Amino acid sequence: MTDGCSTLVPFWFLPVIGLAVALIALPVAAIAMRTRADVFAIVTITLLFVAQTLAFNLRSLTGGAQGASIAAAPFSAATYERPFYDVLVILLAVAMGLTWASMRSKVGLSLAAVRADEDKAAGIGVRVQAVKLLAFCVSVGLTAMVGAVWAYYESFIYPQFAVDPLVTIAMVLMAFLGGRATLWGPVLGAVILEAGQQYLAYQLGGSQFYLIAYAMR
């Protein structure tokens, strides 16, 4: 038990990362969340490419196209991947727990009302902007923690992979494939999408066939 806990020590900084990124994302969310539907999609995609451009050009911070290295994790080579797997399972449990709790709370009811019709939700007293900002920042914080674990695992950060539009598309597809507004839907969608992507990308000679599936969806 002690050994298991000690291997997770390097990940204790993850909540700080999640909180910091959520706070940084707050002004971005304040702008993006004032839009709806197609405009929201356009705004978020635009912001993604802005972030990608900054990542390539702020060389002193990101290393530019060459990327930036991170100190390698101090784990045994024989069980190197296990701590990363364990902490990702914990993050999945946290995300599922937050989702489950929100679906049964006033916040969840407010988000459901906003999803159905923002104007009607505002008319019945829902604080539309506040619940949208909360949902955005929580999701950004969780995503940042997962990204930090991945970067630590790779021990290197490439802007072209760290800020990749296909990652954003994949996350959206997971929700659509499994079923939106459900607890297990995105998880099921992730299993389907990742399994299919791994098969098409590696079993068929490292081809780009999986991009066709993205386009069809």
Same domain as 159, residue 178: no
pTM, full prediction? 0.80
* Domain identity same for 169 and 204: yes
Distance CA 188, CA 184 (A): 6
165 touches 205 (CB < 8 A): no
Q: Domain boundary residue among 128, 144, 163?
A: 163
34 shares a domain with 110: yes
pLDDT in tens, 74-98: 888 888 888 899 999 999 999 999 9
CB 52 within 8 A of CB 64: no
Query: CA-based angle 207:210:216, to the nearest 5?
Result: 140
Burial 152-172 (b: 16+ CB within 10 A, else e): bbbeebbbeebbeeeeeebee
- Is residue 100 located within the same domain as residue 129? yes
Indicate if 67 and 128 belong to the same structural domain.
Answer: yes
| Residue 209: pLDDT band with limits 50, 70, 90 | low
Looking at the structure, tell me whether residues 28 and 107 fall in a common domain. Answer: yes
Mark whether 50 and 144 lie in a shared domain. Answer: yes
- Residues 186, 189, 195, 198, CA torsion sign: negative
Residues 103 and 135 grouped into a single domain? yes
**Domain range spanning residue 21?**
2-163
Final residue of a domain: which of 163, 188, 208?
163
Considering the domain architecture, whether residues 211 and 126 belong to the same structural domain is answered as no
Tens digits of per-residue pLDDT, 171-201?
A: 888 888 888 878 888 889 888 888 877 777 6
Number of domains forming the structure of the chain: 2
Residues 6+ apart with CB under 8 A from 132: 29, 33, 111, 114
**CA angle, 212 then 216 then 217, to 5°:** 120
User: Which tokens belong to 209?
Assistant: 């066939």
Please say if the pLDDT value at position 3 is more than 80: no
Same domain, 156 and 196: no
Number of other CB atoms surrounding residue 51 within 10 Å: 14
Query: Same domain for 172 and 99?
Result: no
- Would you say 21 and 141 are in contact if contact means Cβ atoms under 8 Å apart? yes
176 with 135, same domain: the answer is no
pLDDT of 165 above 80: no
Residue with the larger pLDDT of the pair 17 and 159 = 17
